[in-house]
Chains A and B, each alone.
Chain A
Amino acid sequence: MKITDEMIDYIGILARLKLQDEEKETAKTELEKIINYMDTLNTLDTTGIEAMSHAFPVKNVFREDVIKPSVDREIITLNAPAKKDGCFKVPKTVE
């Protein structure tokens, strides 16, 4: 598969990453190489094989509906780059 400029830009939007022009060129070549290598999976027939997201058949892991004390908001916002009035502060969201 050919990785085009449009594809790299689109992936950048999905991942919220902006590459410099020279980075973009390198990324295109590398990604293409890697994706083409991944395409070797197509030589393996997987018809009828169920996709396995968990290696072990663990199921029904639940928690009881019992309240636990919340964490102090000073602690929760301790690492925040910007905060105000106990909230995380971000640039204005337009809607």
Chain B
Amino acid sequence: MLYGNDFNVIANVSKVIYKTKHINSQLSKEKQNNKTTMTNDDIIQVKDLTKQFGKFTAVNHITFNVKKGEIFGFLGANGAGKTTAMRMLCGLSYPTSGKGLVAGFDISKQQEMVKKNIGYMSQKFSLYEDLKVWENFSLFGGIYGMNRKEIKDRTDKMLKELNFENERNAMVSSLPLGWKQKLAFSLSIFHNPKIVFLDEPTGGVDPITRRQFWEMIYAAADRGITVFVTTHYMDESEYCDRVSIMVDGRIDALDTPQNLKNLYSAKDMYDVFLYLARTAKRS
């Protein structure tokens, strides 16, 4: 393990280093104690997953699987329980009951291993604005325990793919929003995770960049990375291999976009969503 080695390039990250070391020691413990392995082609397996906040059941016995290499759309109205479910899958929140395996690790018992093996990008926070482009790559790579050479090689490769070679030394804050989103996505898969969680990655992004972003998602999926994505753009749900729709804490529909449209005799995914969301009782 090479935690910390690469942080000397960046000032003021002592807290991160401390936290990383802490995670590191937990990781080795977990590795020794647990030998959970994947039994089939599913990268996510969830059974009766439930989260309660007091009397309120935010996520109510959801059961579903996500296949390796799949683009999985995770839809639902505001307040349906998407964020809570996603936090559990990312190892950020303990389930009240039920089981889940993500990338082969138990989301109730091996949260640090889950975190290490997934990528995550949210619309709100994804990059350090006051660091340069290469410094962001270096920081993320370091946090995920990559060594100096790996970080350098991968940074070169990704900047080339993005056509961002001239922006290597640019401050992130100086980049246009569309570029930032593309950069944030590259960072979320920088450590080659098996699965990446994208939480409304295209919110507020201009229509052309939004489409370029989906081409990046396809490219990642072609390389075998599973993509778990939420969006409020219904056209984007058509680009997913399968889509689930949450209503009042439950998953009320899960299938390919085409099958869902057939099932609800709907002309597009917007109509499918409308039909299901209208059955919601809670607000």
Do A and B form a real pair?
Answer: no
